[in-house]
């Protein structure tokens, strides 16, 4: 299952996998998003996530960060939010008496970055763009070559302003606040639904 799900699907995801060994994990970008989806799943399905993925403002998946948010987190590694999200997840670990691994993606480039994020209490990291040009990646060779040939001038943060954003914007790009249905889309873009291997 992927982000192409109907808007109501993330809230109903636990019922979609009920009776199977399928694991579910939301992609989340904020403490509020983590609390909303985990509380929703608890209240309506009496369960929680099997794992969670935090995607920061440098992640390729784009959870709808504003230009201001990207700029704000250019140098801080998103640490404050990571720690707050981990605290939210811990509440649900305690309620459900289970470990919920949390991984982080977005701007993780090398061993030093990995060690840093693990030191914050994360269970792992997600790295994707770093490996696009490898032979193991199933992207088209022409696409991979574009990555290899790209110079520094080709690199820029891509900011989306569309209906997937948890925050609404006016024509000038100024935030006009949150609305719950869009927030649910933010929190419920599903990171993975993996069939467990027995």
Q: Residues 82-131: pLDDT tens digits?
A: 999 999 999 999 999 999 999 999 888 889 999 999 999 999 999 887 88
User: How many angstroms separate the CA atoms of 153 and 46, rounded?
Assistant: 49
Residue 104 has a pLDDT of 94
Residue 197 has a pLDDT of 29
> What mean pLDDT do residues 58-81 have?
76
Nearest to 27 by CA among 194, 193, 189, 159: 189
pLDDT band at 190 (very low <50, low <70, confident <90, very high): very low
Q: Count of alpha carbons within 13 Å of 181, Cβ hemisphere only?
A: 4
pTM over 0.85: no
The dihedrals phi and psi of 65, each to the nearest 5 degrees, come to: -70, 140
Instruction: Kindly provide the residue ranges of all beta strands, DSSP E only, lying in the chain, ordered along the sequence.
Output: 22-28, 52-55, 102-105, 124-126, 167-169, 175-178, 190-195
Residue 75 has a pLDDT of 75
Residue 2 has a pLDDT of 36
Mean pLDDT for all residues in the chain? 75
Q: What percent of the chain has pLDDT over 90?
A: 36
Report residue 127 CA to chain centroid gap.
12
Q: Count of alpha carbons within 13 Å of 46, Cβ hemisphere only?
A: 1
User: How many angstroms separate the CA atoms of 151 and 160, rounded?
Assistant: 23
Residue with tokens 């995607």: 55
> What mean pLDDT do residues 44-71 have?
82
């Amino acid at each position: 299952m992927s982000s192409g799900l109907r808007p109501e699907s993330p809230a109903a995801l636990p019922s979609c996998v009920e009776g199977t060994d399928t694991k579910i994990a939301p992609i989340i970008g904020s403490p509020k998003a983590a609390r909303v989806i985990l509380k929703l799943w608890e209240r309506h399905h009496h369960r929680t996530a099997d794992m969670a993925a935090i995607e920061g403002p440098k992640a390729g998946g784009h959870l709808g960060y504003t230009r201001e948010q990207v700029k704000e987190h250019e140098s801080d590694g998103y640490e404050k939010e990571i720690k707050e999200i981990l605290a939210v997840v811990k509440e649900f670990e305690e309620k459900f008496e289970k470990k919920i691994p949390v991984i982080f993606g977005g701007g993780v480039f090398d061993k030093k970055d990995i060690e840093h994020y693990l030191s914050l209490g994360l269970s792992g990291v997600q790295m994707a763009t770093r490996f696009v040009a490898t032979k193991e990646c199933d992207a088209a060779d022409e696409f991979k070559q574009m990555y290899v040939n790209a110079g520094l001038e080709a690199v820029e943060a891509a900011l989306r302003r569309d209906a997937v954003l948890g925050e609404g914007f006016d024509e000038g790009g100024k935030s006009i606040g949150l609305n719950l249905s869009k927030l649910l889309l933010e929190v419920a873009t599903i990171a993975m639904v993996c069939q467990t291997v027995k």
